């Protein structure tokens, strides 16, 4: 079974703080993704990575950055958190092609005050 884990299920941060969300997958998947999910807007892709140290912008990269230093780990960074970044953040991975079946982590619900 593919396992994708995320560092926190719930997180509360203050405006202006730097926030790190960590994601780890244990199945040697090439591709990893970060989404945010908001009511009425669905899943929106923030960034994805198809290889170590490689990253590509998704649909809504503004205010976010990512890091993939190791194949199994993909980090999402909010450089200066804002209230409009309050959301559910979901990490996913896929085996070879980024169009293949994605396996999701449990999500991190982030509240920025």
Partner 1 sequence: GQNIDQPTEMTATEGAIVQINCTYQTSGFNGLFWYQQHAGEAPTFLSYNVLDGLEEKGRFSSFLSRSKGYSYLLLKELQMKDSASYLCAVNSGNTPLVFGKGTRLSVIA
Interacting residues toward partner 1 by CB under 8 A: 4, 33, 40-43, 45, 48, 58, 90, 98-107, 109
How far is 33 from 98, CA to CA, in rounded Å? 9
Q: How many other C-beta atoms can be found within 10 angstroms of the C-beta atom of residue 16?
A: 10
CB of 103 to partner 1, least distance (A): 7
- CB of 22 vs partner 1, minimal distance in Å: 16
Nearer to partner 1, 17 or 86 (CB): 86
User: Among residues 17 and 72, whose Cβ is nearest to partner 1?
Assistant: 72
Under DSSP, the state recorded for 102 is -
Distance CA 12, CA 21 (A): 12
């Amino acid at each position: 079974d593919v396992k994708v884990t995320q560092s926190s299920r719930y997180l509360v941060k203050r405006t202006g703080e730097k926030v790190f969300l960590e994601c780890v997958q244990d199945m040697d998947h090439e591709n990893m993704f970060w989404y945010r999910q908001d009511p009425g807007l669905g899943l929106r892709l923030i960034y994805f990575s198809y290889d170590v140290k490689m990253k590509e912008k998704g649909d809504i990269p503004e205010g976010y950055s990512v890091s993939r230093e190791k194949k199994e780990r993909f980090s999402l960074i909010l450089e200066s958190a804002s209230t409009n970044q309050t959301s559910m953040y979901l990490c996913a991975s896929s085996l070879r092609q980024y169009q293949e079946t994605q396996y999701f982590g449990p999500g991190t619900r982030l509240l920025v005050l």
